[in-house]
Amino acid sequence: MKNVDVKPAKVKVAMADMQWGQNGDILTTSGLGSCVGIVIYSLRCQCACLIHAMLPSSEMAREGQHVNEAKYADTAVKKAFTGFEERRIPIDSLEAKLAGGARMFQFQTDHLNIGKRNVEAAKELLAGRSVSLTAEETGGHIGRTIEFDVATGALRIKPTGGETIII
Amino acid sequence: MGTREVELDILKEVGTIGGGNAATALSSLLKTPVQISVPLVQMVPFPELLEAAGGEEKVAAVTFLRIAGHISGSIFFVLEPEEMQTVGRALVESWNISRTPENEQDLFASALCELTNILAGSYLSALSDFTGLYMMPTVPSSAVDMIGALLSEGLIEAGLEGDEAIMIDTNMTKGEHQSQMAGRFFMLPDAHSLPKIFASLGVQESGA
């Protein structure tokens, strides 16, 4: 499916959204707080999917509500794998990286700690499909903006007011 | 005017009264005239709420609290970091506490929580008066970071089931020249609380 005429692009992924990139594309998403950014990629096939998931499981959706698949880690990862299959990307060539899952507010009452649960859910989902997690930058109390370079597999992470790191 | 518009119009009226109460309280605290108006009450999808607050990547001081009682909801107070310093300084000075570079940020964060308590209390007492429903604010939390990161977590904590929220937006000015105050106050009743609010205001929900 590779199209050599397509120029590399910077692809923006919104909150509760997922997008695909290939060859020299850069996939980016900003304002990751408790949300988790999940990159699933194949260096060999130069193809990647970036998910900006807000919640761990679609079971949290209200009864009868239309489910935006990208909003929940479980449905988003499922959709990503369907996408890799459609693109004929060998599943054994896939790897993953994670960022986000922070805890932004210090609550004094009951706390869902949704950031931690998002990261745990993402890890379980990836392990369940035997995709190895090569790197992660998760937790803490800080917001993050990330950029994934499909060509090299480098994930650049810019924490709010901090130094950019590459994992 | 459709039912929904009538409902939003009533909420705007409630917001205006609450804003007036809050402005009076803030004026005396900050020792400068503060005016608060409610230009907008509408149902908005989440991305539009982020835009209204300044954009997901913009860094701001955000204070978040929950509404508990007969109804539930969330309140966000979004301030530009510079405005947080100005307002924080003014409030802390009124407290007669010695401010050092070490404790300054903590004091400003406390000031912001205090400010949000006042705003929230004013709004909620106006809404209580109109509806006869009991409601009170919970202890606020505040943080300085990207708006997208902060609002999304707050809304998730609020059990964001849908992708839309009722936004009671405010416009704040302060000082003799009524200069724009770089702050936005958003009140977002939870979806299941809306029918209760509207029923107590005497508006029949159509199709609900």
| Predicted local distance difference test score (pLDDT) of residue A149 | 97
Q: Is the pLDDT of residue A159 over 90?
A: yes
CA distance B92 to chain A (A): 21
Contact A144 B149 (CB under 8 A): yes
Put simply, whether A70 touches B (Cβ < 8 Å) is no
| Predicted local distance difference test score (pLDDT) of residue A17 | 93
Interface pTM (ipTM) of the complex? 0.85
Residues A157 and A142 sit within 8 Å (Cβ to Cβ): no
Put simply, whether A45 touches B (Cβ < 8 Å) is no
Average pLDDT over residues B156-185: 74
Q: Is the pLDDT of residue A93 over 60?
A: yes
Q: Is the pLDDT of residue A136 over 50?
A: yes
| Predicted local distance difference test score (pLDDT) of residue A26 | 96
pLDDT digits (tens, 9 = 90+) for A16-64: 899 999 999 999 999 999 999 999 999 999 999 999 999 999 887 766 6
In this predicted model, which residue has the larger pLDDT, A65 or A10?
Answer: A10
* Residue A31 CA to its chain's centroid (Å): 13
Weakest-pLDDT range from B13-17, B70-74, B188-192, B200-204: B200-204
Nearest to B88 by CA among B63, B121, B55, B52: B63
Kindly state the tokens that stand for B49.
């709420």
Work out the percent of chain B whose per-residue pLDDT is above 90.
10
The CA distance from B54 to B32, in Å, is 25
Weakest-pLDDT range from A91-95, B148-152, B164-168: B164-168
Average pLDDT over residues B16-44: 85
Put simply, whether B208 touches A (Cβ < 8 Å) is no
Chain B residue with minimum CA distance to A37: B149
Kindly state the tokens that stand for B148.
């997208």
The architecture in CATH of the region B3-32+39-200 reads 3-Layer(aba) Sandwich (3.40)
Average pLDDT over residues B47-60: 85
State yes or no: is A45 an active-site residue: no
Q: Is the pLDDT of residue B24 over 80?
A: yes
CATH entry 3.30.1330.200 includes domain A10-166: yes
| Predicted local distance difference test score (pLDDT) of residue A120 | 97
Sign of CA dihedral B6, B7, B12, B13: positive
Q: Is the pLDDT of residue B43 over 90?
A: no
Residue B138 with chain A: CB contacts under 8 Å = 109
Q: Is the pLDDT of residue B158 over 90?
A: no
Average pLDDT over residues A124-153: 96
Put simply, whether A65 touches B (Cβ < 8 Å) is yes
Average pLDDT over residues B177-205: 77
For an interface test with A, which of B106, B155, B156, B161 has the most A Cβ atoms less than 10 Å from its Cβ?
B156
| Predicted local distance difference test score (pLDDT) of residue A111 | 65
Average pLDDT over residues B128-152: 90
Strands, E assignment, A43-110: 47-53, 95-100
| Predicted local distance difference test score (pLDDT) of residue A98 | 98
Q: How many CB atoms lie within 10 A of CB A124?
A: 14
Nearest to A91 by CA among A99, A103, A81: A81
Residue B123 CB partners (closer than 8 Å, separation 6+): B14, B15, B18, B19, B21, B22, B75, B168, B185, B187
Contact B143 A114 (CB under 8 A): no
